[in-house]
């Protein structure tokens, strides 16, 4: 007789069937077959939180087919995904199918390749890991207790659509960030730069930045701070005619180590930044690559390892293959002396997986490109390059740092903010610093190009001439540059996932669904890939914080994740975890509605001019996600509306319009912050924020 193998998806089944051969029947469960009921709490709180699982109605035909296949089989192999969710699905299948008098084997694999599949079936696990099952049950019941008991309170008070144990905390992150941005007051500051050269070679000039006056540091939040153009002009006046010479030169070698291979979160972040793919699209495409694609052979094989992981570990055989490939194609100089190891920085990392990597490093992206969709190719190429780069030698830079002294008589004219009165009239050395960094060896950068994030400024990305202490330098120009402190940026979806992960909140398998829920509930909108809370989202968040301070606390939510980890390791019974959570939660629940109603109702129009008022959000019901009806019955307002409520602009009296010399104001536009004329629309003069202010003529 044949053996029955049950996996979760049809694609995975189609990939496994030819690998296992004719002695196996491979079927898909299509995900979970049982869950808590939709129309009731489904948890008996008084009976130690006993769940009332029900067979999903839409899975009746699937289960009928599985039972028929099981009757014709001699052994049942449960080959669901190798994590808590997969272990729970396998357990639910056992509870429903009840395979009496037939051996049951649990097989797990992290990549769908011929070798990995045959090895997994040759060495099945010793039964199900009930600790993982209990951890998944505890998470599901916790989420049901919160969602089923808090959401009705929202319907009655704020008209919010749902609450979730992790979803609501994710919303709070977005709301808190938005309020940081609204409360932010830009601060102007100036920097002084000297354009210097050797006396006999003005062509090879370089920039040095003023870092110190006497023994006092210069800069933002330093003892001496140049807040206005008048402050900068004072320094320039003092340095007019000063003599410049090299004080010291320091040369060093700087290594830039490669990034570790991808985890779920870092893959989503990189795909968002480089490929403009949402977390949901990233996970969907990664699933396709994992489950198997026919690349011109007679069998489909998985191209990457399991894509839900928070680990950065790599199997020794995969490292050996990568080193072999790198040595053959690039040469031994690109190999580190020993295979690198990476420690995960994720708080409470818990899945014992590998990082995400190609299943065969010799399967070059361009070779299999004809068999992949554009999105599949781009994501595979990203994963392949990141993995290969992680096994390569560091990049090496030559770094030169030169300090330059300009000696000038300060007299009584050097009246700078932060400069002690005793130093005003003393001869004051002005110390400038020039830094140059040149790539000596590209190392991993040969494969993985760093993204241009704007962190390397003009003063660093320069080559310094040969300098030695005591050398005289010629001053070609003194440059004053204007800067403004910037508010924190709104989260992207990938950035929000990273913020959750850094706090130990949620797990790789849940992040993409959380992002989708925030959008579908009309709690956030996305503008140029940046998340902004709606009025409904802010009102819902404030109400939940007022009624459930623990539930909405970042630290407490992370602690709950630690409790679930304890369950998965067998350290804590899952029922105890539920009791520890529910006792204070139930106490808060009894007073929650009154506290929610005490939260002030927000204005109907939010800061983008979208009238996503509370009543109209509820009236939208199950309409297309992202659409909100107006109570007046007028046309819907779509997400991403560009109209913005006008704020009082920050006037900068020391910065003048290049067209009419009127004061400039700081404004925000589609391309970020800029300076515009205060006489707009009569005058349309603009400047870049970091552009050197020029005196008006």
Q: Report how far residue 51's alpha carbon sits from residue 32's, in angstroms, rounded to the nearest whole number.
A: 15
Contact 664, 687 (CB under 8 A): yes
Given the residues 24, 53, 306, 491, select the one marked as catalytic.
Answer: 306
Strand pairing class (650-656; 54-55) = unpaired
Which residue pairs from 29-32 have beta carbons closer than 8 angstroms and sit at least 24 positions apart in sequence? Answer: 29/59, 29/62, 29/66, 29/80, 29/89, 29/93, 30/59, 30/62, 31/89, 32/56, 32/59, 32/88, 32/89, 32/92
Neighbouring residues of 241: CB distance < 8 A, sequence distance ≥ 6:
408
Please state, in angstroms and as integers, the Cα–Cα distance from residue 631 to each residue in 79, 617, 640, following that order: 51, 9, 20
Contact 191, 480 (CB under 8 A): yes
Closest CA to 430 of 631, 195, 625, 247: 247
Neighbouring residues of 87: CB distance < 8 A, sequence distance ≥ 6:
80, 128, 129, 132, 133, 136
Angle between helices 10-20 and 279-291 (to 10 degrees): 20
Cβ burial of 463 (10 Å; 0-12, 13-18, 19+) is exposed
Active site residue 306: yes
- 127 C-beta neighbours (distance < 10 Å), count: 10
SS3 526: strand
Q: Report how far residue 336's alpha carbon sits from residue 289's, in angstroms, rounded to the nearest whole number.
A: 29
Which letter does DSSP use for residue 81 in this model?
-
Active site residues: 306
């Amino acid at each position: 007789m044949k053996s029955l193998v049950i996996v979760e998806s049809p694609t995975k089944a189609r990939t496994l069937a030819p690998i296992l051969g004719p002695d196996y029947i491979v079927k898909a469960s299509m995900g979970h077959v049982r869950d808590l009921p939709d129309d009731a709490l489904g948890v008996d709180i008084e009976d130690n939180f006993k769940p009332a699982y029900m067979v999903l109605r839409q899975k009746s035909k699937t289960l009928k087919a599985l039972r028929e296949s099981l009757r014709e089989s001699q052994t049942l192999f449960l080959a669901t995904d190798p994590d808590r969710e997969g272990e729970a699905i396998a357990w639910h299948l056992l509870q429903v199918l009840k395979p009496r008098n037939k051996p049951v084997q649990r097989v797990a694999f992290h990549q769908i390749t011929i070798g990995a599949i045959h090895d997994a079936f040759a060495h099945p696990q010793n039964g199900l890991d009930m600790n993982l099952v209990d951890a998944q049950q505890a998470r599901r019941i916790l989420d049901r207790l919160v969602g089923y008991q808090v959401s009705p309170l929202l319907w009655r008070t704020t008209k919010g659509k749902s609450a979730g144990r992790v979803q609501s905390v994710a919303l709070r992150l977005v709301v808190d960030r938005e309020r940081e941005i609204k409360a932010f007051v830009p601060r102007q500051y100036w920097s002084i730069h000297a354009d210097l050269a050797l006396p006999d070679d003005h062509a090879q000039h370089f920039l040095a930045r003023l870092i110190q006056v006497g023994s006092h540091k210069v800069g933002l939040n330093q003892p001496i701070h140049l807040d206005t153009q008048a402050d900068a002009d004072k320094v320039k006046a003092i340095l007019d005619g000063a003599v410049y010479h090299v004080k010291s030169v320091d040369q060093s070698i700087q290594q830039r180590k490669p990034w570790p291979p991808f985890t779920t979160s870092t893959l989503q972040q990189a795909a968002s930044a480089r490929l403009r793919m949402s977390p949901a699209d990233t996970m969907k495409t990664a699933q396709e690559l994992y489950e198997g694609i026919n690349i011109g052979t007679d069998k489909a094989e998985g191209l990457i390892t399991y894509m839900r992981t928070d680990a950065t570990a790599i199997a020794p055989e995969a490292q050996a293959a990568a080193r072999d490939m790198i040595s053959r194609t690039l040469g031994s100089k690109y190999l580190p002396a020993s295979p690198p190891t990476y420690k995960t920085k994720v708080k409470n990392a818990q899945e014992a997986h590998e990082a995400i990597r190609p299943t065969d490093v010799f399967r070059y992206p361009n070779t299999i490109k004809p068999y992949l969709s554009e999105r599949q190719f781009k994501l595979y190429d990203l994963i392949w390059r990141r993995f290969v780069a992680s096994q390569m030698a560091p990049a090496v830079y030559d770094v030169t740092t030169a300090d330059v002294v300009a000696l000038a008589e300060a007299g009584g004219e050097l009246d700078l903010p932060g400069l002690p009165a005793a130093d005003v009239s003393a001869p004051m050395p002005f110390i400038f610093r020039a830094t140059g960094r040149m790539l000596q060896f590209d190392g991993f950068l040969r494969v993985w190009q760093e993204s241009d994030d704007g962190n390397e400024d003009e003063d660093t990305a320069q080559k310094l001439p040969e300098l030695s202490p005591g050398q005289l330098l010629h001053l070609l120009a003194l440059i004053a540059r204007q800067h403004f402190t910037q508010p924190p940026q709104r989260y992207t979806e990938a950035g929000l996932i990273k913020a959750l992960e850094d706090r130990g909140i949620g797990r790789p398998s849940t992040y993409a669904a959380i992002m989708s829920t925030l959008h579908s509930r009309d709690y956030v909108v996305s503008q140029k890939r940046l998340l902004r809370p709606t009025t409904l989202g802010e009102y819902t968040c404030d109400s939940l914080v007022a009624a459930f301070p623990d539930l909405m606390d970042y630290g407490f939510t992370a602690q709950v994740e630690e409790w679930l980890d304890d369950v998965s390791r067998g350290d804590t019974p899952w029922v105890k975890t539920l009791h520890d959570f529910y006792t204070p939660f139930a106490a808060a629940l009894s007073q929650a509605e009154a506290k929610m109603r005490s939260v002030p109702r927000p204005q109907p129009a939010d800061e983008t001019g979208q009238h996503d008022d509370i009543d109209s959000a509820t009236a939208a019901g199950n309409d297309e996600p992202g659409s909100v009806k107006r109570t007046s019955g007028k046309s819907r307002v779509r997400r991403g509306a560009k109209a913005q409520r006008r704020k009082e602009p920050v006037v900068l009296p020391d910065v003048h319009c290049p067209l009419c010399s009127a004061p400039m104001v700081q404004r925000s536009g589609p391309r970020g912050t800029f300076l515009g004329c205060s006489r707009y629309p009569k005058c349309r003069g603009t400047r870049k924020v970091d552009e050197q202010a020029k005196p008006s003529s």
